């Protein structure tokens, strides 16, 4: 299967990803990329899902695809696979964002989907180099790309601590609309989905509900006459200057402009005057202030333990996982939150350090 690598400064880099921080510098693609001009829905949910959830994910994927909606998911077992299969049955395009290299079919049981998705107009995407195996901590991290491609994130089924809820967190941070398929009361398989609805997520009682929401979203997003040309010109200028909209999140651009969360961050970075702030590097009281601030983001002891374990010298996810006795997948998820808060940065793929 032919694969290509799209760089963040290439003209064909997905514009859907550019507004958000922590998007990949490189994207490996087999097949096509999602069309930004067409609506997209991410269908996510439990791997070990109920038969009901599998049927519903398939039904939503099929009916949305028949209406011209692109389906985004992660090609995992269960709800992901059902959403992809439904989209193909509906004659539409579907895109799988993998937690391994784009040339690696994972899980192997989904080989038929892996082959059919690009053959039928969709694409297999990954931020990981070809040959990269499927590692546990890759999956929660790749979820940010799934939600970024979507106009709506649909949770087909989720337990209270389901990994698909990580996708919901990213979706909310990105300002996306979240829906969940209602489940039976007192059914542990649906506890997370029902809780989302109770907390304000939309109830996906039928595919028509999502189609109406998509129409509303697209109307709100419709550009003012002439605005599209201005946006395209801006992107061209930014690329010529070796910076892109994604660079304003989390680091200083090559053109020397200050980043949004760069020197102005309250988590140990230099302020505009060039001096370190009160929580700067090497200041023990500053470190305590940082941890206090981080408690406002998440009070989970594991999250705080990982924050304290970070140093200015990079450490791998597995080093931090072992040091903090925390599962690699959860460690990866916490590190992404620390990066979003400006407390940490990814120095190399899978290696993190304090900022």
Is there a domain that residue 174 lies in? yes
Task: Give the C-alpha separation, 157 to 149, whole Å.
Answer: 20
- The bridge status of strand 4-7 relative to strand 26-31 is antiparallel
How far, in Å, CA of 82 to CA of 57, rounded? 6
| Phi and psi at residue 95, to the nearest 5° | -135, 130
Quote the pLDDT of residue 311. 84
| Number of domains making up the chain | 2
Tell me, yes or no, whether 9 and 146 share the same domain. Answer: yes
Both tokens of 345, joined, read 């940065």
Q: Check whether residue 118 and residue 177 sit in a common domain.
A: yes
- Look at residue 290 and tell me if it is in a domain: yes
CA distance 269 to 271: 6
Q: Is 24 exposed, middle or buried (0-12, 13-18, 19+ CB in 10 A)?
A: buried
Structure token pair of residue 218 = 């697209």
Cβ–Cβ under 8 Å, residues 265 and 258: no
3 state SS of 67: coil
Q: Tokens 């931020």 identify what position? A: 127
Q: Are residues 286 and 210 in the same domain?
A: no
Using the structure block, give the residue that is written with the tokens 């038969």: 51
In 3D, which of 152, 151, 291, 132 has the Cα closest to residue 142? 132
Q: Helix or strand or coil: residue 315?
A: strand
Same domain, 46 and 85: yes
Do 67 and 205 have their domain in common?
yes
181 and 100 part of one domain? yes
**In the structure encoding, which two tokens stand for residue 225, read together?**
């006459």
Supply the pLDDT for residue 273: 33
Whole-number Å distance between alpha carbons of 75 and 134: 12
Do 168 and 263 lie in one domain? The reply is no
Q: Check whether residue 169 and residue 287 sit in a common domain.
A: no
Report yes or no on 205 lying in a domain: yes
List the domain range (segments joined by +) for residue 336. 251-354
- Output the pLDDT for position 251: 32
Cα separation, 304 vs 63, whole angstroms: 43
pLDDT at residue 78, rounded to an integer: 96
Question: From start to end of the chain, where are the E strands?
Answer: 4-7, 26-31, 40-44, 70-73, 94-97, 123-126, 152-155, 177-180, 202-203, 315-316, 344-348, 351-354
pLDDT by residue for the chain (355 residues), tens digit each? 799 999 998 989 999 999 888 899 999 999 999 999 999 999 999 999 999 999 999 999 999 999 999 999 999 999 999 999 999 999 999 999 999 999 999 999 999 999 999 999 999 999 999 999 998 888 888 999 999 999 999 999 999 878 788 899 899 889 899 999 999 888 999 999 999 999 899 999 999 999 999 998 876 665 545 545 555 555 555 455 444 333 322 333 323 333 322 223 322 323 333 333 333 444 455 567 777 777 766 777 888 888 888 888 878 777 888 888 887 667 877 887 788 777 888 776 577 888 8
Instruction: Find the CATH number of the domain harbouring 9.
Output: 3.40.50.450
Tokens at 97, concatenated = 């964002």
Residues 188 and 303 in one domain: no
The verdict on residue 155 lying in a domain is yes
- Same domain for 212 and 310? no
Residues 21 and 148 in one domain: yes
Q: Bridge-partner residues for 4, per DSSP?
A: 29
Q: Residues near 288 by Cβ (< 8 Å), separated by ≥ 6?
A: none
Q: How far apart are CA 39 and CA 159, in angstroms?
A: 28
In a domain, 229, yes or no: no
Q: Which helix or strand (DSSP H or E) is residue 170 part of?
A: helix 164-173
Contacts of 340 (CB under 8 A, 6+ apart): 21, 22, 173
Is residue 309 a part of any domain in this protein?
A: yes
pLDDT at 237: 54
- State whether 58 and 207 are in the same domain: yes
167 within a domain of the structure (yes/no): yes
Q: Please check whether residue 242 lies inside any domain of the structure.
A: no
Q: Give kind and range of the element (H or E) at residue 353.
A: strand 351-354
* CATH number for the domain that contains residue 337: 1.10.10.10
Length of the chain: 355
């Amino acid at each position: 299967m032919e694969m290509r690598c799209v760089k963040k400064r290439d003209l064909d880099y997905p514009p859907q990803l550019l507004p958000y921080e922590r998007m990949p510098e490189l994207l490996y693609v087999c097949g096509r990329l999602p069309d930004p001009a067409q609506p997209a829905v991410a269908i996510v949910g439990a791997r070990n899902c109920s038969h009901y959830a599998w049927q519903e994910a398939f039904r939503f994927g099929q009916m949305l695809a028949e209406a011209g909606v692109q389906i985004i998911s992660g090609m995992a077992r269960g709800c992901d696979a059902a959403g992809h299969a439904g989209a193909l049955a509906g004659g539409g395009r579907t895109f799988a964002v993998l937690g391994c290299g784009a040339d690696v079919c994972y899980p192997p049981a989904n080989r038929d989907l892996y082959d059919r998705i690009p053959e039928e107009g969709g694409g297999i995407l990954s931020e990981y180099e070809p040959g990269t195996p499927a590692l546990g901590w890759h999956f929660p991290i790749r979820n940010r790309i799934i939600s970024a491609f979507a106009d709506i994130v649909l949770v087909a089924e989720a337990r209270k601590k389901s990994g698909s809820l990580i996708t919901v967190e990213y979706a909310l941070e990105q300002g996306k609309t979240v829906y969940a398929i209602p489940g039976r009361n007192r059914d542990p398989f649906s506890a997370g989905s029902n809780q989302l609805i109770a907390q304000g997520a939309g109830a996906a009682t039928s595919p028509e509900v999502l189609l109406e929401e998509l129409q509303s979203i697209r109307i709100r997003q419709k550009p003012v006459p002439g605005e599209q040309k201005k946006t395209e010109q801006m992107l061209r200028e930014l690329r010529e200057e070796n910076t892109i909209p994604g660079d304003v999140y989390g680091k200083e651009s090559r053109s020397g402009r200050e980043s949004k969360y760069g020197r102005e961050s309250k988590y140990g970075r230099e302020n505009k005057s060039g001096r370190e702030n009160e929580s700067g590097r090497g200041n023990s009281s500053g470190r305590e202030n940082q941890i206090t601030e981080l408690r406002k983001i998440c009070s989970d002891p594991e999250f705080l333990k990982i924050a304290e374990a970070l140093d200015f010298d990079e450490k791998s996810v597995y080093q931090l996982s072992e040091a903090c006795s925390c599962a690699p997948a959860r460690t990866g998820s916490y590190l992404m939150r620390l990066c979003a808060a400006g407390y940490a940065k990814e120095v190399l793929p899978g290696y993190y350090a304090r900022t």
